[in-house]
Structure 1
Amino acid sequence: MTDTYTTPEQIPEDRPATPADPGVPAAFADHPVTPATEFLRGSWSGDDIDGARRQLEESLDGRQFRARPASGDFAYRFATAGDARLSVQTGTFRGHLQGVIPWSRDYVVSWFQAGSVTIDYPRGQLTSVGARPFLTPTETSFSFAMTPHRHGIVQIDATFLEDIAAERHGGPSQRIVFDYDAVPSDEDLAAWRKVLGDVTPIIVAEGSSGAARLAAQTLLVLALLDLFPWRAVDVPVAIRTERTRRLRLAAEYVHAHADEPITSADIAVASGLHPRSLQAQMSEHLGASPTGYLRTVRLDRVRQDLLSGRPGETRVSEVARRWCFGNLGRFSASYVDRFGELPRETLAR
């Protein structure tokens, strides 16, 4: 990878660009420009460690930020350029920094040219490894501890990424859950870095046309979707809030483990909710008990398998058991109640 824009000083104040810039394919020439494309640029720097801490805490909507100097003189510098869909950011902080990010819907990928970060979130711990890119957990609270560092960031609006991902998975726009522990292959890592180097000049240039910037941003999101394993999770938008984040974790756990003999107690443990709280929140926001929601997800999975199956080769009983339905009579009745037809009629389509 080239060193294009890997430090704050390399994000320029101005650079003309056109849709014909390198890295923008001709297929994007007539691509519609989506809303919220106003170009945004910002940078700040200094040597006041407490001022840097306050500014970062405010700009990141963080809490409990603490900073202490390392050996040598303290200095910081940050720069960002892009728009509300996607921005490229770089930062240098010559001190130790820790704090809490209570909530963010954006998808964020980072890489460190120097220093490191450790992140603790409800499902585990993440630690950066050299310059390898990593993803920050979304729609959850996490704490972090950074050593003196220099890093790059791509911040992506949730709706923008999810709409692009929908074209990949063929369904509606849904929450995307990445595998945070995955280690990219050398091939995928090289492809990501090449796309990043190609499109960054277009994304950060104020003179880029809206169509050119959108094309460059789209290419970068597609490269990210190729870099880490992910899955789309059909959780209602209404529970994708800071207040209902534990309920969202419960719903995601159900989707991830629907083919296993899990119980409502397992769902409560996975979400960190008391069983009675889980019952009340699912009833209020999802209109079902934990076992009822699990049954609905399983029935939907059965239907997907039957629609993609072949009569004469696919057996309804085998598909039902795959999704943990032991009593075939009760399963058939539940299936008819949900879809208005027998399982065998779905398979015969």
Structure 2
Amino acid sequence: MTANTSLIKQAVGLLEAARHQAAKQTNSLMVLTYFYLGYLIVEHEQKGQSKATYGASTIKHLSKVLCKRFGNGFSERNLEQIRAFFLIYKNRQKQVAIPQTVSAESAIQYKVQLENPALTAFPLSWSHYVLLCRIKEKNERSFYEIEATHSNWGVRELQRQINSSLFERLVLSKDKKKIQELARKGQIVEKPEDILKTHYILDFLGLEGKSNYTESDLEKAIIDKIEHFLLEMGKGFLFQGRQVRFSFDEENFFVDLVLYNRLLQCFVLIDLKIGKLRHQDIGQMQMYVNYYDRYVKVVHEKPTVGIIICKDKSDAVIEITLPKDNKTIFAKEYKLYLPTKAELKKIIE
């Protein structure tokens, strides 16, 4: 690498990092400003004699003034969203250090806040929070905020995860204590069961309208959309290969998909079945897992996990085929469409 090439590479890296940081700071500043503005609106409303009529009148008048001075971004609808945002997240008032009363010094105090940790109170963009504010249930809203922050989800990915009812699907396999933990910490991956969902939503594959697709079609569609598939699988997944061959007793075997989970530090083998799961399929996966445990994984890695993703399964067949203390082989159904939240909530209840 020449001196000029090195200089250009370092300069580009520096400016891209600075631009990314500036955008992040701008987003945080916008969200913090809207939180403060929501506070001002609510504080002003509470001094009115009739909250309902007075509040509507306040927002209408404020919108007219702000739009005239700052543009159309402060419509009545947007101010209503800003007000709702403050009411939902008002428990962060101390973290943001909003003064208890509105005074002439408020603006000065706000300027000082912009240089302190208050900016970290809202780690996502305003567009993220507009989506989050539509979620009525507090635990669910908290979960999605944590996951979007930790997993660096864009707005589109956050919308998809909400639409696919990720929270409800995880809740189905948790007890009450674990549900509270989801709301406080997000999804924690410490053991194989933590990466599992009740079923996987593969709507992004575009196979819903096809009635005669094969397992090869399913596999190819997954490879074509591997980034989406890894996101659907959950945290920490890396793709290693498809139709990975190993030989044993002079016979070749092929694992449909081989993944690695860096959080669990283990191989995750995926077998795809478009029909009903049979006991032979479970036995085959047991053999795959045994081979990887004995001949592929190294000493510091954890036991291999096998997941059979199938169209239909019988819990009785799985229970009688696998040993009672099984902790590494699982069968999960997939769906090619997004179930409604009402359907999932009904199952949970």
TM-score range, shorter chain: under 0.3
| TM-score, normalised with respect to structure 2 | 0.23
Q: Which has the larger radius of gyration?
A: 2
- Taking CA–CA contacts closer than 8 Å with sequence separation of 6 or more, which of the two structures ends up with the larger relative contact order? 1
Judging by fraction of residues, say which structure has more strand: 1
- Greater share of residues in helix: 2
